[in-house]
Amino acid sequence: MPALVRLAAEHADALLAFEQENRAWFARSVPDRGDDYFADFAARHAALLAEQTTGRCHFHLLVDDAEVLGRFNLVDVAGGEAELGYRVARRAAGRGVATDGVRRMAALARETYGLRRLTAATTLDNAASLAVLRRVGFTPAGEVSLDGRPGLRHVLTLATGDERAVRAENLA
């Protein structure tokens, strides 16, 4: 089973390879990062690691045999909430990797980072991502524009074990 690991300095080369190999694939459904992203990758990677130390962001990679299958990020962490973003390699698409990664990130957000709510947005034409979010339990929460493309914002409430037990008891 692939490991979900916190982004670290030693991931730079594998992450760059992942982004380069999948650039055209990603650009089909999310805005392209642009040439500068790749030209200045080392500096950007260092900046992400520095930002991660502040606790405002938590970056993770889904890794199998040192190869990156996906990245799953929590950004704008504040007040018990964060925005979830993710992307999965083309070769791993359609195999449940995104759904598994999002489920694992939701659990990590709740159990490790103490978050109570996640938001995520995707374009309307990204049927795979819309399906992943709904499969994991996100609910639509309004329309958004993502780089001029119509999209939907989704919300997931992260209940603790005690809160789930109280809800179940109240439903009985």
**pLDDT exceeds 90 at position 60:** yes
pLDDT at 161 (0 to 100): 57
Of all residues in the chain, the percent with pLDDT exceeding 90 is 68
Confidence of residue 160 (pLDDT cuts 50, 70, 90): low
The encoded tokens of residue 94 equal 């359609």
Contact between 34 and 26 under an 8 Å Cβ cutoff? The reply is no
Distance CA 155, CA 19 (A): 27
Coil vs helix vs strand at 126: coil
Q: Extract long-range pairs of 91-96: CB within 8 Å, 24+ residues apart.
A: 93/25, 93/128, 94/128
Contact between 16 and 38 under an 8 Å Cβ cutoff? The reply is yes
Residue range 3-171 in CATH 3.30.1490.20: no
The model's pTM is 0.86
